[in-house]
Amino acid sequence: MARVAREKSNSGIHHIMIRGINKQPILEDREDNQKLLEILKQCKAISEYNIYAYCFLGNHVHLLLKERKEGLEQIFKRIGARYVYYFNQKYKRSGHLFQDRFKSEPVEDDGYLITVLKYIHNNPVKAGLVKSAKEYPWSSYHEYINSNNLIDVDLVLGMMNKEQFIDIHNQPSSEAVLDLKEDHFRMTDAEAEMVIKEIGGAERISTCLNLPMEKRNELIKELRGRGLSIRQISRVTGIGKGIIERV
């Protein structure tokens, strides 16, 4: 069956979603996130695209991007080739990393651009990783508040000031955007640790083993409710699988 042609954007702006093949993680740790940021900067200098937002999650990435010198296919072929080479070398693997074709949708007006921007920055909140967009380290949210050299902030900050930018991210939104509706979000261990620290109020994961039984069980229930598997909770916290299964 022939592929459906990618919908063009008259503005040149697209909301892009890239995910791992078979839903596998494509960003395992801090180094991977930093490497992908570095590659985006390198490729931006070559392809001359504008980036208005990004968010990196374990098995997928969201970008709000404007194509200029090159089209999307060429842009993401370059980005993908560089990141896959790095990832395969680091983890001693071979073959494909990304799903064959990235998803995209056109962004044709300022109102929808702000909707998508807000959606991207709040993706970690939706996934249960953090309580607010400002808490998540691997999105462009903070680059709108502080100086940066990757995000092109002028378009958005020409529509609102920084206080308004912060405020819109705290407002609920019901408008649908490009999403992973058919997928179950899976956290990496690094993301799971972030959630555990937030819920348990602990600086070190090892303290989970010494929690009072009632508090430990509350933590386990909360983690299960956020989609973590018994195996992953045990692996990250050190709590035995048998204990987790009985809660």
Whole-number pLDDT of residue 102: 77
| pLDDT beyond 90 at 236 | no
Residue 149 — very low, low, confident or very high, per pLDDT cuts 50/70/90? confident
Q: In this structure, are strands 60-66 and 13-19 parallel, antiparallel, or unpaired?
A: antiparallel
CA 153 – CA 224 distance, rounded (Å): 38
Tell me the average pLDDT across 145-166: 91
Considering only residues 144 and 7, tell me which one the structure prediction assigns the higher pLDDT.
Answer: 144
Whole-number pLDDT of residue 174: 58
Residue 16 — very low, low, confident or very high, per pLDDT cuts 50/70/90? very high
CA 244 – CA 247 distance, rounded (Å): 5
Helices and strands in the chain, H and E counts: 11, 4
CA 7 – CA 91 distance, rounded (Å): 35
Phi and psi at residue 51, to the nearest 5° = -115, 125
Q: What is the pLDDT of residues 54-107, one digit of tens each?
A: 999 988 899 999 999 998 989 999 999 999 999 999 999 888 888 767 788 889
Tell me the average pLDDT across 124-149: 89
Mean pLDDT, the chain, whole residue set: 84
| pLDDT beyond 70 at 185 | no
> What is the CB-side half-sphere exposure of residue 70 using CA atoms within 13 A?
15
Considering only residues 32 and 194, tell me which one the structure prediction assigns the higher pLDDT.
Answer: 32
Say if CB 7 and CB 106 are below 8 A apart: yes
| pLDDT beyond 90 at 188 | no
Task: Delineate the domains of the chain, giving CATH numbers in brackets.
Answer: 13-169 (3.30.70.1290), 189-246 (no CATH)
Considering only residues 144 and 209, tell me which one the structure prediction assigns the higher pLDDT.
Answer: 144
Considering only residues 153 and 225, tell me which one the structure prediction assigns the higher pLDDT.
Answer: 153
Whole-number pLDDT of residue 7: 65
Q: For the ranges 156-165, 197-206, 237-246, which has the lowest average pLDDT? A: 197-206
Q: Specify the DSSP element, H or E, that contains 86.
A: helix 72-91
Whole-number pLDDT of residue 94: 85
Q: Got the DSSP string for 41-76?
A: HHHHHHH--EEEEEEEETTEEEEEEE--SS-HHHHH
